[in-house]
Amino acid sequence: MYISKRVKVITLLFIESRENLSVKEIASRLELSERTVYRELEGVRSLLKSYNLELTTIPNEGMLLQGKIENISKLEDELMQESHIDNYKIEERVELETLKIITESSFIKWEAVSSYIDVSLSTSKKDQNLIRQFLKKRNLILISKMGEGIRIDGKIYHKHITIMDILVKNVEFANLFKWLKDNDLQKSIFLKIMNDRYDNSCQEAFKIVKKIILSDEGDAINDIDLIEFIILFGCWIRELILDEDLTFDQEIKHVSDSERQLCHSLLGELDYSVPDEWRNYLSWLIQIYFGDQKSNNQIRNQRFTNKVKLFIQNVEEQLGIKLMENLELFTGLQNHLVKAVNRVNTGVSIRNPLNREIKQNYQSLYAIVTNSVNKVFGLNFFPNDEIGFLVLYVAVALDKLVDKSFRVLIVCSSGMGSSKMLANRLEREIPEVYVKRLTSLMELRNIELDEYELILSTVPLYLKRHEYMQVSPLLNENEIQIIRQKIENHKYTSLALLQSTDKSASRKISNKSIDQLYEFYKSSKYAVDLLKSLDLKSIKINSHHQLKNEILDMLLRKNFLSSSSAEIASADWSQNYFHVPNKKYAILNCPTTKNVSSLLVIDVEYQTADEQLTKVIVIVHPAKANQKSTALLSNLIISLITNEEADVVIRANDFELLQQFFAEELRCVLNDILL
C-alpha cells in the first residue's frame, strides 16, 4: 500500500497528539489549506481502518484517534520503516530500484518495481535517468520495451559486481554476515530482494567458503573482501543453476597452483557439472580475491571504491560533515589507496616529508583519519607516512566546502514521527546540513545542546541559553529559506573549528607583552623578507633526475647552498620533495646552513608515466631556524597543499599575482601561529 506524504504526516500528527485536532489546526501546523486537509482525511481514515483504528469527531472540538495502544504503536512503527519513500535518500532509492530490476530474469514493469519498494509509480519513472547513469558507470544499460517493461542488459559478471557493490554499500557488514550465515534478513529490503531471486545460493556459498577457506577459524569473518567474494560466488552459483548462458571474455593471467587448488576445492563441493566458461569465471574471481598477483582491473577498482566509501563514511560520522559528494576527494583517495595498498603489500615504504607538520597542525583530523583507516583496513595496516597523505586529501576536501555542513538537532513530542519526516525533508532540500540526532521532549534534557549549530522543533521549547526554530514537519519554503540564511550567516571553516580546541588548549595568556610583541615583530619581518625574495625561474628538463640536478645547481649559483648543503640536499631529496596530490606542482623544502631564506617558483613543464609537472615551489630556509619561523614555513607548505586557489595562481605564471597570493597566505599563517 502506497501512503502519500500528506497522509503520513497527518496520521503521525494524530498519533503524537494527546488532544483533539481540528481541520483548522492541522492546516495551520502543516501550512495547508483546509480543503486539502479534508481531501487527505479520506486516505487517513482508510489507513487507520486497516489497523483497526478510527477518528472520532467531537463537535466544536475536533478529531481524536481511538483504538488499541498496540495497534497505534504498530502503525507508528510501520510508518517509520525504511520501506517508505520518505525514508529513502535519492541515491539509496535508485540503488534499491536497480537491485530489484537487475535481479529479475526477464522484463519487469515499473508498477511492479514501485509497488515492491513502496514508492509512487511517478517517482520510480522519474528515477530512470539516474538509474541509467548509475548503470553506465558499470558497463550496463537499462532496456525499456513497450508493453513489457524494463530490464538491465550487459555482461553477467558486470551485473554480479553491481549487485555486490549495492549490498556492501547499503547493508552494514554485521548484517551482511548474519544474512550469509543464518539467512537473517535484519529487516533489510535489499536482502529481501536477494532472497526473492537468489533463494539460498549466497548462504550455500558461505557454507562452502567457510568449509574450504575458514576451516580452522570458526564462523567469524572480519574481512569485507571475503564477504564480497562470498556474495559474488553466491550469484555465480544461482546463475549456474538457472543454466544462464555465459560468454566469459575477461583475461585470466597465469593461474598459480594455489589458485587452481582453491578452484578445484570449491567446485568439488557442488553437486552439478560446471561448463568451462563458468570455470573460467570462477577462476577469475579467485585470482582477484586470493591470487598471488593483484591486478588493477574493474572488480579490483570496485573493491577499492567500496573501501573508499567506507573510509569517507567513517570520517563523516566523526566530523559531522558530509564529504561523500566531493568527487575530487573520492577520486584522489581511490587512486592513492590503490597505490598505497600495493606498496604496503609489497613491502615498499615511502617517506612523507611533511608528516610531522601535518600531525602537529591537524591533530584532531589526524586522529580521526587514523581511526577510520584502522576500522576499514585493519589496525596498523598503513604506516604513519601514508596516513599523513590521507589527512591532506581530507583537509583539501574540508577546505573546499563552500557552504560548510553544520550539525542539526531535531525535536518533536515523541522523537519519532514528525522528527523523522522533518529530517528527511531537510536533508533532501539542504544537502549540506547534517542531521546528527532526532530526539523527544523527554530526552532533550539529557542532550548537550552546545554540540549543535541549529535546533529545529515541531513543538514549542523552553530553552534558557540556546536558540531554536519551530517549524512544521513538512518544512515549508519560507522555513527552508530561513535555514539557508542561517547557514549562509554561519559560514564557519571546518578545519579551523577542528583545530580550535587544540590551539585554545595550548594558548595561554601571558603578561610578557614586550616579549610577545618582539616575537610578533621578528616573525612578521621574516615573512616580509621571505616575500621580498620571491622569484620566478625557468628550466628545461627531461627526467626527474635532471630536475634535481638543475634545481640544486641553481641554488648553488644563487649562493643559497654551500657545497656541503647541496650534497645533503641531494641525499635527502626524496624526504624533502613532495608532489602535491592531484596537482601539477611540487614543493621542495630546502634547509641550508646559510642564514638565507627565499621563495622560488620554477617553471619546469615535463611529463612521464609517473609524474606530470609544470611548477616546483622551492622554499629555502636556515636549517636551524627558530621555532616561530619553522612553524611559519610548515604552515605555509600545508596551506599551499590545501588551498584550492594555489593551483590556479601558480600555473598563471604572473609575478604580481603570485606575490599577492603569497602575501595573503603568509598573513593568514602569521595570524594562526601568533594570535
Q: Where are the domains of the chain?
A: 5-79, 87-298, 305-396, 407-491, 513-674
3-state class percentages of the chain: helix first, strand second, coil last, to nearest 5: 60, 10, 30
Output the nine-digit C-alpha cell for 392.
591532506
Which tens digit of pLDDT belongs to each residue from 622-631?
877 666 677 6
Which tens digit of pLDDT belongs to each residue from 72-119?
888 888 776 644 434 466 778 889 999 999 998 889 999 888 888 877
Question: Comparing 522 with 152, which gets the higher pLDDT?
Answer: 152
Torsion of CA 560, 563, 566, 571, to 10 degrees: -160
For cell 525533508, the residue is 425
Question: What is the rounded CA–CA span in Å between residue 282 and residue 18?
Answer: 61
Whether the pLDDT of residue 9 is over 70: the answer is yes
Whether the pLDDT of residue 150 is over 90: the answer is yes
Question: What is the rounded CA–CA span in Å between residue 101 and residue 127?
Answer: 13
- Strand-pairing partners, residue 410, are 438, 456
Question: Comparing 201 with 272, which gets the higher pLDDT?
Answer: 201
Judge whether 338 and 301 are in contact, CB under 8 Å: yes
Whether the pLDDT of residue 517 is over 80: the answer is no
Homologous superfamily in CATH for domain 513-674: Mannitol-specific EII; Chain A (3.40.930.10)
Output the nine-digit C-alpha cell for 514.
614586550
Whether the pLDDT of residue 227 is over 80: the answer is yes
Helix axes 173-182, 189-198, angle to 10 degrees: 30
Which tens digit of pLDDT belongs to each residue from 308-333?
788 888 888 887 666 666 666 666 67
Judge whether 416 and 80 are in contact, CB under 8 Å: yes
CATH class of the 407-491 domain in this structure: alpha beta
pLDDT of residue 102: 94
* CATH architecture of the region 305-396: Orthogonal Bundle (1.10)
Reduced to 3 states (helix: H, G, I; strand: E, B; else coil), residue 242 is: coil
pLDDT-derived band at 151 (thresholds 50, 70, 90) equals very high
Q: In this predicted structure, which of 56-70, 358-372, 377-391, 648-662 has the lowest mean pLDDT?
A: 648-662
- Residue 525 has phi, psi (to 5 degrees) of -60, -40
Judge whether 485 and 469 are in contact, CB under 8 Å: no
Length of the chain (residues): 675
Question: Comparing 338 with 286, which gets the higher pLDDT?
Answer: 286
Longest dimension (CA), the chain: 99
CATH number of this structure's domain 5-79 = 1.10.10.10
- Residue 471 has phi, psi (to 5 degrees) of -135, 165
Mean pLDDT of 512-540: 76
Question: What is the rounded CA–CA span in Å between residue 87 and residue 246?
Answer: 38
Helix residue spans in 217-297 (DSSP H): 224-241, 257-268, 276-290
Residue 459 DSSP code:
S
